[in-house]
Amino acid sequence: MEAPLIAVTGRRRAAAGLHSGPPALDALEIDAYFTGYGANVVAAGGLPLHVPGDVDPAAVVERTDALVLTGGNDVDPARYGAVPDARTSSLEPGRDAFEIALLAAARERGRPVLAICRGIQLVNVAWGGTLHLHLEEHAHTRRHEVTLTPGSVLAALHGPSATVNSLHHQGVDRVADGLTVTARAPDGLVEGLEADGLVCVQWHPEQLEDVPQPEFRWLVDAARAG
């Protein structure tokens, strides 16, 4: 059986400081994502496809078998009726719009989706939920426990609890209709959301030691089954 083709979103950055070529390249931009995403897809039996933000989302979903929404900067607070404050990190409204369109196309075509960190926040906002603008106690806490909901995909992958990493300063506040909370931190913060064919986690499985992480195995298996 051929390896499922997994679309992986990334981020666009100024090239300055990210290359070893002549200074003239500083004015260019680079599309990138952290290597752990692709490495986990490959180790789980999939074939990762980096998706730049200026392609047709429907065409991407048509030709791929699953989608990974990766981490990154804050979702634009205007999308959920809030106002940025001094702690809001660089916004990417174009990326927001592109990934929301990718998500909608994937859901319409029944493609499985794994949403990570910014991804869980984007999904919740896209479906009508809101976010906490800043969570000082969660910002960059390297390890903590989450409790997983019995009967959920995450519980099937990990058991009743898991030790995860935390690299975020925002999080899910009001959960959107149609999404089920399937993981919580000890203070009650939502760390996992699910719907049919959709798994969202607030942590970064692509940065944990074991490769592939169970979430990526789930995604590739679901892509094969679809």
Which residues are known catalytic residues? Answer: 117, 204, 206
Both tokens of residue 134? 């800043």
Q: What is the dihedral of CA 21, 22, 26, 30, to 10 degrees?
A: -30
CB environment 26-61: b (16+ within 10 A), e (fewer): eeeeeeebeebbbebbbebbbbbbebebeeebeebb
From CA 199, how far away is CA 121, in angstroms rounded? 12
Cβ atoms of residues 69 and 113 within 8 Å: yes
CA distances from 98 to 56, 76, 188 (A): 9, 13, 31
Q: Where are the alpha helices (DSSP H) in the chain?
A: 35-43, 57-63, 93-108, 118-126, 153-158, 214-225
